[in-house]
């Protein structure tokens, strides 16, 4: 299991929220996908769907969501 915080855009708070909606690690995030993870966060009232989706897509692509630059 790879810690979610090793991915760009995922800090302690987002990692905690992802854990709460059934996404405990990077492998699970890759499995369910950014859109599904963001949907779960929005449904649980934990995150804004548009920003979460962008951040999670960037995390899976290895880029910062605010700049579009790879790490």
DSSP string over 45-67 = TSS-HHHHHHHHHHHHHTB-TTT
Looking at residue 2, its pLDDT comes to 96
Q: How far apart are the first and last CA of the chain?
A: 21
- Domain 4-61 in CATH 2.40.37.10? The answer is no
pLDDT tens-digit profile of 12-57? 999 999 999 999 999 999 999 999 999 999 999 998 878 889 999 9
Q: What is the pTM of this model?
A: 0.88
């Amino acid at each position: 299991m790879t810690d979610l915080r090793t991915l760009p855009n995922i800090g302690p708070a987002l990692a905690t929220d992802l854990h709460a909606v059934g996404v405990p690690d990077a492998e699970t995030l890759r499995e369910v996908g950014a859109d599904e993870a963001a949907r779960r966060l929005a449904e649980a009232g934990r995150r804004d769907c548009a920003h979460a989706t962008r951040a999670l897509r960037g995390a899976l692509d290895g880029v910062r969501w605010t700049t579009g630059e790879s790490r």
